[in-house]
Amino acid sequence: MSILERITIDPNICHSKPCIRGMRWTVEIIIDLLGSGMSINEIIEDHPELEREDILACLQYAKMLVSGHTLKIAA
């Protein structure tokens, strides 16, 4: 699974916001947790359903958005 295949958009989940692997974990929430000072390890310890690659995928997704890249997201 490539890093961006971990990010999905489904109109039935979180109002079509980009999420991790179809779960209700949005990219926005993960970026907010990182921005609040939590480390990747702390996030995973608190939420074991998440994987390191999920967090990295969120960062990659955010980087691509701010750099203006067109993204192909799995549904």
pTM over 0.85, yes/no: yes
> What pLDDT, on a 0 to 100 scale, did the predictor assign at position 68?
83
On whether residue 75 sits in a domain, the answer given is no
Domain containing residue 10: 3-66
CATH of the domain at 32: 1.10.10.10
On whether residue 74 sits in a domain, the answer given is no
Q: For residue range 10-34, what is the model confidence (pLDDT) as tens digits?
A: 999 999 999 999 999 999 999 999 9
The 3 state secondary structure assigned to the chain is: CCHHHHEECCCCCHHHCCEECCCCCEHHHHHHHHHCCCCHHHHHHHCCCCCHHHHHHHHHHHHHHHCCCCCCCEC
On whether residue 45 sits in a domain, the answer given is yes
How far apart are alpha carbons 13 and 1 in whole angstroms? 21
Q: How many domains does the chain have?
A: 1
